[in-house]
Structure 1
C-alpha cells in the first residue's frame, strides 16, 4: 500500500471517527445509548516543564499513568511502542539494557558512546547521555510521557525525534508495600517490590524499590552456548525531605547490575550476490560491468555452507556472548515555591557505569570473529529553572542546563585471518587481541526560556528559544597484537579481557565546538472547553561530534557537524461525550538539514575502506498521527492509534566500496565508486503503525475481572542502511492479551492475578542486520506468556 493510499486511509479513519462521535453526542441526550457514569481521567504531564492537563498542551504527547503501564504487562518500556503512533523501540545486542529508539522516523542507529541518541530519554528529569541502561524497567514508574517531534527548546540537544520522559513514584510518607512475582515460559522468574515508610512524620520519608529479572533464554542452542538468558537486577533508595509545605527535596541512589547473555547473533551470509537499490554514478578505473550489490559472504562460502539461517528458534554461538555491567546513579530533585506565583526547580544527576561485553559476531559454533569491549562511562548534569503561575495573560519557564560526560573504551578482537585474506585456511591463523582505545569527552551548557501569552480570548501564543554551547574531544589509538602473542589457533580468547601493553600502530586526537539556537513558535486556539487546535514551528538539532567507530585515525578525529530538523506541526485535541471520548490528531512535516549519515572513506589494508559519519544527506519526513479513546459502557473501553509516515532522502551523494558493488572484471583493491544513495529508504521508518485495544471490566464475586487485548500492526521497514533484503523487516501484526482478577481492600486493589501473553501470533523475524567481516543479525522474541501475582498493602 503506497503512502498516498495510507494517508487517504488515515484521513478516512479520522473523518469516520469524527462522524461517529457527532451523532453519538447528539444521540446521547435522546436515548442514552452510552449508559455510563465513568469519564476519562485527567492526565497531568510536564511536557512543557510545568504541570498541565495533557489536552491543554499544544504538541503531540502520549502519556501513561501507573495503572496504564501495569496493564501493558511489560518488563520494560519497549511495549510503549505497541500503542504510541510512529514509535519503534528495539533492543540492541551489544550492551546492557541498550535500545535504539525511532520516533517519527528520526533515530540514531549506532550505540557507540561517541554518538548521541536522536530521541532523548529522561528519568526523573535526568538526561541519559547514552543508549546503555536506558531500557527502563516499568515496575516503579508513576508516569511516562512520549513527546513526539523536536523538543529542542525545553529538553535540549538530541531530541530531534522527541523525548521519553519517565517519572518514578515518590515516597508516600506512609507504611506500604507493593510487590509482584511473575513466572513464564523460558524459565522466566521476575520479582519486584516497593516499600514506603515514614522516618520522621511529615518531614522525612523513605522509599526502597528493587527488582530482579531472570530467564533461561528464548533461543535453543544445540552447540551449548548462549541462549540469550537474562540476569539483571536493580535497587533504588529515595529519601524525601519536606521541611515545610513550600519545599520538597528528593535524593535517589540507584544501583543496577546486568550479567545477562546477549541476544544471540545468527549468520545471515549468502552465497550469491544480493542486489541493492541505489544507482552507481561513478566511472570505475578499470572498464567493467558494475552491479550495485552485496557480494557473497566469505564466511558463508568457505565455512562449509554456514549461510543465512532461516530457523530463528535456535542459535549456535559457542564463544563468549555475554556482559558484565554495573551502574550507580545519584539524583537530587528539588521544588521550592517562591510565594504564590513562582516555583524554582533543580535537578542534579550523576551516573557512572562499567561495562565488559563479550561478543560472538559470527553466530556460529566456530571461532571466527569475537570482540571484547571494556568501557567506563560517567556523566553529571545540572538544571535549574523557574516557572511562573501568574493570573495575568503571560506565564513563562526559564532556566539553565549543564551536562558533562566522558568515557574510555578498550577493545580487542579475535579474528580468523581467513576472513580478510585468501591465503590461510579457516581456523589456522588469527589476529589476536588487536583493536582500538578511545577516550572521549562531551560538554554542553544551555540557557532556555519559553513564554505563553494570551494574546486574545481563547488564543495563546507560545515563544521559546534555547542557546546551546557544545564541546567535544576525542583521543584515539589503534593497537596491534601484544608482543609474544603469535597468530595461532588458541593463543587468545576474548574471555581473558583486553591485554595490556599492546603496541600502538597509530594515534591522534581532536576537539571541536559548536553553538546552536533552537526556537519554538506555537499558536493555540481554545475553540471551546473540550476542543482546541494548534500549529507550531520547532527547530531541533543533534549534536556534532566524532565517529569513535571509524577505522582510521583521520576518520575518527575529523568531526561531523550538528544535523538540524525544521519541524512544522498542526493538530487538534478533543474531549467529547461529556469526557467519555477523546480524539486527537497531529500532522507534521520534518525537513532534515545536514543529516548525519554513513560515509565510506579510503582506508588501509586489509579492508581498504573506513566507514564513518559525515553531514552528507538531506531528508524530509511527513506524516499524520491519530489517537482515540472511548468509554462505551461501565464495562467496555476502547483505545486506538495510527501513524502514517512518508520519508525520503532529498539528497544523498556518496561513495560505495567493493562491499556494496560487484565489478566484472574486479577493480583494484580499495576502489571507491560514486553513487546516488537518495533512493534508499531511511532505516527504522515504517510507513504505518497502528493499534487497537479493547478493555472489558466487570465485577465478579468480591473483586473485578478485567480482560484486555492489543492488536498492533507495524509495516515494512529496513534495519540496515543499504536496504539489504536481509535487513528487511516485513510488515507484521502482533497480538497481546491478558486477563486479570483483582480483589481485596476498599478499592479491590489489594491483590491481583494476571495471566498474559505477548506476540501470541508468534511473529518472529530479523530485528537487525549488519554486513561486516561476517554477515550477522538478531531476531525478535517468540511467543511469551506468564502469570503475575501482585499485592498492595
Structure 2
C-alpha cells in the first residue's frame, strides 16, 4: 500500500536512517587541517571540503562532488557507508552478504566491484581519515563519530591514486577538542535490536587533547531460518576508539588514533534461486517455485543448513598518525601513516539449501600499511598546488576449504591456500594557476608503479562416504595433473601508469562558475584469487583505464538560500576487467572464476544536486542522476561453451539509468530550550542488473527507499522515532550465477523502525 502511494503520488515520507550507530558530535574547534562548514547569513551552510587534499569551499572545486557536513549528519541516523548513497546521484552501495562484517559493493556512475576476494582491488576508493581501505571486506564502515562525508564522482587518478576509477567516498571524523564535549545515544529497534554508543573529548593540558568513543550493537536480524526454526542473522558488534591531539607549537599539529572493532554473527543468509535446468533443481529438487522466487518461497526466509552459532567473526584494528607543519608563506607539509589489519572467519552455506551441496570455510587475514607525504601551497596567489609521494604495502592470506556434495559420493572436501602481496609507490601533483581574473587552469598527474605476487597451493582432496567429515574413503594428493595447483615460489608481475588531469574553471561571479575537465583513472592488474587451474593461478590480468570528459556548473542564488550544481560526462573504459565463471574440467568443482581484460565500454550521463533553505524552518534537498552505460567491445566465452561470442548485448551491472533523491527537514521551536523537527527522504534506484549474465530471475526493478523520523529536543536531550525502508522494498543486493548449477542471492534489509534517546554535554 505504502509503496503504491509513493509510486503514484510521490508523497514525501518522513526520513531518518535506521540505526543509531551513526551520529555526529558537535563540531569541535578546528585548525586548517580540519575544515568546518559555516552558515551564510540567512542561507545555507558554506560547505568546506578536502576533496583535493586542501581546504576549500565545495562550490570552488571544478569537479562533481556531493557532501554531507556536520550539520547535515546531525539530522541523520546513518548506520554505515550504505546510508550515504542517497546523498549523491548515480551511486549504488550494497552489502554483498558474502562474508562477515559487511562486504561492500560500491558503484559510482556504474563503475565498481562486488567481489568478496581480496585479490580484486576496489574500483571506488573508500578513504577513512585520509587512509585508503584496500579491500571490500570492512569497507562498509560503521558511521560512528563522522564529521564529514564527500562523494567524489568520476576517476580520481591524480590525488587519490590507486583504484579510484569510479570515484572516492571520503570520510572524516571529528578532531579532539580541548573543551569537555560529548554525546551518548541508546536505541531500540525492530528485530530486537539494541544499540548504545558514546563519544567524549576533553583537554588534558593546554596543548594535549583526547577523544574516546565506543559502540555496542546486538540484533536478531531480519532473516528467519526455517531449517533450524529460529532467527537466522543474529549479530553482535562492538567498537572502541581513542585519539590524541598534540600541538606543541602553533605550527605543528600531531594526531594519532587507534580503533578496534569486532563483529560476531551468524553467517549471512543467502537464498537459492534455481531454474528448472540448473543441476541443484534437476538432481536435488532445490527448485524455485516460480521465476525470481527463492527456493524457500520468501526473500526473508532461509532454508539453509549452515551453522547458526555466531561462528562468523570479523576483527579490525586500525592505527592512524598524522602530522601537519605550517612552514609559513602559505606552505604546509603533511605526513600520514596508516595501518590496518583484519582477521575474519566464516563457514558459509552458498548453496542456500537444506543439503550440504556447496559450503565454504574461509578464514582470511589482511594487513596494509600506507605512508603519504605531501607539500601544499595555499593562499590567494595565482599559483596553488599539492605535491605528494605515496607508498602502499599489503598482504593477505586465505585458507579456503570447500565442502562439496554435488561432485562427490556423497561428500568431498577440497582446500586451497592463497597468499598475495602488493607493493605500490606513486608520485603525484596538482596545481591551480589563475590565468586571468576569474579563469583558473588546473593541471595534475600521478605516476604509479604496482608490483604484485601470488602463491597458490591446493591441498589434498578428501572423499567421504557420508556427509560427516570423518574417515575418508579416498584421498587425492595435489599434483600438476588434473588441474590441481602446486606452486613452490610465488609468481610476480608489475605495472606502471601515468594518469593526468586537466581542467578549466571560469567564475561568472561570486556565486556561479562553470568548468570543463579531462581526467584519467587507473586500476591495477593482478592475479586470480580463487583459481582451479595452474594457468588461472599464474597468468595475470592487466590494468584497466578510464578517461572522463566532463563539463559542469556550480551556482548559489536567492541570497545564498539555494544551491544548484550540475554536470554532464562521458567516460570511456579501456581493458575493463570482467569476472567470468568458466569450466575447469578435472578440478574438484569443475569450474573456476577468472578475471580477464575483455571489454571496452562507454558511460555517459548528467547529474544535478539541489539544496534550498525554503524558509527559516524548512530545508529541502534533492539530486538527480541519468546514466547510459554500454559495452562497446566485448568478446568472451561468457556462456562457458569454449567458444567466445560478441557479448556487447549484455547490460552493465549496477548501472541504473535513473537515480534520484528528494528530502526535507522542518524544524521549529516549541518553547524555551526546546525544539522539534521532522525529516524525510525518498531515494529512487531505477531498474538494473546485478548479475554479469543479466539473469532475469535476479533482476532489480525500480525501488523507492523511504526513510523517516520525528524528533523532539529538550535542553540537551533528544528523543527520536525513526524508520527505514518504510516502503518495504525487497530488491536484491547480490546475485551470482554458477552457470548450469545454481544461482544465489540476498535481499536488502527489511523495513525497520525504532526509538532513540540522545544526550549531549
Tell me whether the two structures share a fold, i.e. TM-score over 0.5.
yes
| Deviation string, structure 1 residues 435-480 (Cα, Å, up to 9, x no partner) | 2110100011000011100001100000000001110000001222
Partner Cα separation in structure 1 for residue 141 and residue 71 of structure 2: 17
Q: 1:259 to 1:501 in 2, by over 3 A?
A: farther
SS in 2 for 1:431: strand
Structure 1 CA distance, aligned partners of 2:244 and 2:120?
34
Structure 1 unaligned spans of 5+: 1-35, 272-295, 494-499, 659-670, 745-749
Contact preservation (8 Å) 1:576, 1:582: yes
Q: Is 2:235 the partner of 1:247? A: no
Q: Deviations over 1:501-542 (max 9, x none)?
A: 985642233111111000000100010000000000000111
Counterpart in the other structure of 2:441? 461
Residue number among 653, 660, 669 corresponding to 1:683 in the alignment: 653
Where do residues 131-530 of structure 1 align in structure 2 (5 Å cutoff)? 131-200=136-205, 202-224=206-228, 227-271=232-276, 296-307=277-288, 308-309=293-294, 310-320=297-307, 322-416=311-405, 419-420=406-407, 429-432=410-413, 434-481=414-461, 486-491=464-469, 505-508=484-487, 509-530=490-511
Tell me the alpha carbon deviations over residues 590-641 of structure 1, each in whole angstroms, 9 at most, x when there is no partner. Answer: 0001111134656222655433011110000001001111111111111110
- Report Cα offsets for 1:756-789 as digits up to 9, x if no partner: 1111111113222112243211011111101111
Cα deviation, residue 193, structure 1 = 0.5
After superposition, give the CA deviation of every residue in 1:103-140 in whole Å (9 maximum; x if it has no partner).
01111121211110000011110111101111112230
Query: Using the alignment, how far apart are the partners of 2:147 and 2:751 within structure 1?
Result: 28
Cα gap change, 1:653 to 1:303, in 2 (>3 Å): same
Hey, what's the Cα distance between the residues in 2 that align with 1:262 and 1:645? 35
> How far 1:267 sits from its partner (Å)?
1.4
Query: Are residues 97 and 502 of structure 1, via their aligned partners in 2, closer, same or farther at CA, if it must alter by over 3 Å?
Result: farther
**1:730–1:557: structure 2 CA closer, same or farther, 3 Å change rule?**
same
User: Are 1:91 and 2:98 an aligned pair?
Assistant: no
Instruction: Show CA shifts across 1:552-589 (max 9, x none).
Output: 12112111111000001110000101100000001111
The residue aligned with 2:626 is: 644
Q: Paired residue for 1:776? A: 744
Which is higher, the Rg of structure 1 or of structure 2?
1
**DSSP 3-state at the match of 2:429:** strand
Rounded Cα–Cα distance in structure 1 between residues aligned with 2:416 and 2:566: 49
Q: How far apart in 1 are the matches of 2:470 and 2:125?
A: 39
Task: Give the structure 1 partner of residue 534 of structure 2.
Answer: 553
Matches within 5 A, 1:594-605: 594-599=575-580, 603-605=584-586
TM-score, normalised by the number of residues in structure 2: 0.89
Write the deviation string for residues 188-210 of structure 1: whole angstroms up to 9, x where unpaired.
Answer: 1011110112222x211111111
Equivalent of 2:723, from 737, 754, 757?
757
Matched residue SS, 2:111: coil
Verify: 1:45 aligned to 2:49, yes or no.
yes
Deviating more after overlay: 722-731 vs 297-306: 297-306
Query: Partner of 1:59 in structure 2?
Result: 63
1:278-299 alpha-carbon deviations (Å, 9 max, x no partner): xxxxxxxxxxxxxxxxxx1211
Distance 2:165 2:644 in 1: 30
Contact 2:104 2:114 in 1 (8 A): no
SS in 2 for 1:514: strand
Cα distance in 1 between the residues matched to 2:745 and 2:619: 39
Distance 1:390 1:255 in 2: 38
The alpha carbon displacement at 1:752 in A equals 1.1
- Give how far 1:94 is off: 2.0
Against the structure 1 CA distance between its residues 502 and 708, is the aligned structure 2 distance closer, same or farther, given a 3 Å change threshold? farther
| 1:260-316 CA-partner distances (Å, limit 9, x unpaired) | 223311110011xxxxxxxxxxxxxxxxxxxxxxxx121122333543424113112
CA distance in 2, matches of 1:736, 1:84: 16
In structure 1, how many angstroms separate the alpha carbons of the residues matched to 2:140 and 2:722? Answer: 21
For residue 72 of structure 1, report the CA deviation from its aligned partner.
2.8
Distance in 2 separating the partners of 1:601 and 1:91: 25
* SS, match of residue 354 in structure 1: strand
Q: Is the counterpart of residue 627 in structure 1 residue 612 in structure 2?
A: no
Distance 1:573 1:222, change over 3 A: same
Task: Give the structure-1-normalised TM-score.
Answer: 0.86
Q: Distance in 1 between matches of 2:557 and 2:443?
A: 29
Distance 2:320 2:726 in 1: 39
Structure 1 residues 458 and 38, CA gap change in structure 2 (3 angstroms): same
Structure 1 equivalent of residue 691 of structure 2: 720
Q: Deviations over 1:721-751 (max 9, x none)?
A: 000112201111121111111221xxxxx22
Please, which of 536, 540, 544 is the counterpart of residue 521 of structure 2?
A: 540
Distance 1:305 1:782 in 2: 25
Cα 1:391–1:693 change in 2 (3 A) is closer
